[in-house]
Structure 1
Amino acid sequence: MHAFLRTERLVLRPFTEADADHLFALDNDPEVMRFINGGAPTSREEIGTAVLPRLLHDYPCLGTRGFWAAEERGTGTFLGWFEFRPLDEHSCAVVELGYRLNRAAWGRGHATEGSRHLIDKGFTDLGVERVTANTMAVNTRSRRVMEKSGLSFLRTFTGDWPDPIPGSEHGEVEYRLTRAEWQQRR
């Protein structure tokens, strides 16, 4: 299958319908989903009707998708996914960076590695002007990945949580990196 991006240890490739079982396992690990939905399980039906369609969506300004399956280079082991999706479907100026990896991939630098390479590709090949990323304020591991990927803390804000989960009372944080900031660091 065609790879969107290859790094030293990762291959990011487009999702296919055949990834449903991987997504089901990923989204049913309570620790993986702790800061997403409080660890609630995701049904197979929801994977097929909501999750996969979102991950299979093409963005006209990118000429490709905004979500990619992450595999370990060499073994092909499914690790999770990365998001590098335009906030406006028709403009690549601002993209959102995200990642969801299985626990076996945690603490090994995969999230930072994939994020850094996506950011570089965005600024060099995709016409991106700003990368943004959000997480719960209490999600220190994800915040650290954002920082190690070159993003800077911008603000804390309160989202509208229809079903609050533990930690949501502390709000969310937004990080960002502009093309100019990225160029200065190179």
Structure 2
Amino acid sequence: MTVISTSRLNISLMTLNDADLLFELDQDPAVMKYINGGRKTTRKEIDQVFIPRLASYLNSEKCWGLWKVFNKEDYFLGWILIRPMDFFTDKPQFKNLEIGWRFKQTAWGKGFATESAKAVIEHIVEQHPDIIKFSAIADELNTASIGIMKKLGMEYIETILHPDVEGDVDVVLYSTFLSLTNNSN
């Protein structure tokens, strides 16, 4: 199992046996505010929706999945998402990886999301030089996530309809291009 380490963090891919961590994280309404309005995720939703979704894109060889982030004291802080942008559509973008994050409120404002996202991006670029960009989406009111996007070197592209939820939910799309010489999808 690959473990990415920084001076403060240990980061590794979640497995399908990590449902307890997903459930634990989603029990704070503040964490869920910009995900679903603050509703806690039920254990049934974790087991019947989130774990099967994770199973559909989890691929350690390609570095896709949820990267669990722990501090050096082995305390779970949150996760970093990596999968092809538009994965759940009929046109996934395999060279444009979606990056996302969800962290416990106790980890907010300490740079953990940015630090772990940078480390995961660096690892992926080293392993897969054919990746041409990383993209992220967020609720336009989620200034903390947008701040992380900017710290990762991403720029605002456009406001779009959220690709993974039912109904009309607008999100902002930010991207960073790694190489203009690689072929796109």
Distance 1:87 1:172, change over 3 A: closer
Q: What is the 5 A alignment of 1:98-177?
A: 98-126=100-128, 127-159=130-162, 162=166, 171-177=170-176
Gaps of 5+ in 1: 182-186
RMSD (Å), alpha carbons: 2.5
The answer to whether the Cα contact below 8 Å between 1:61 and 1:92 also exists between their aligned partners in 2 is: no
The answer to whether the Cα contact below 8 Å between 2:59 and 2:65 also exists between their aligned partners in 1 is: no
Other-structure match for 1:184: none
Q: In structure 2, how many angstroms separate the alpha carbons of the residues matched to 1:17 and 1:123?
A: 25
Moved more, 95-104 or 150-159: 150-159
Alignment TM-score, normalising by the size of structure 2:
0.81
Other-structure match for 1:66: 65
Distance 1:17 1:62, change over 3 A: closer
1:34 alignment partner AA: K
**CA displacement at 1:62 relative to structure 2:** 4.4
Q: In structure 2, how many angstroms separate the alpha carbons of the residues matched to 1:66 and 1:135?
A: 18
The answer to whether the Cα contact below 8 Å between 1:3 and 1:11 also exists between their aligned partners in 2 is: no
Moved more, 32-41 or 5-14: 5-14
2:112 alignment partner AA: H
List structure 1 segments (4+ residues) > 6 angstroms apart after TM superposition: 88-91
Query: What percentage of aligned pairs have identical amino acids?
Result: 32
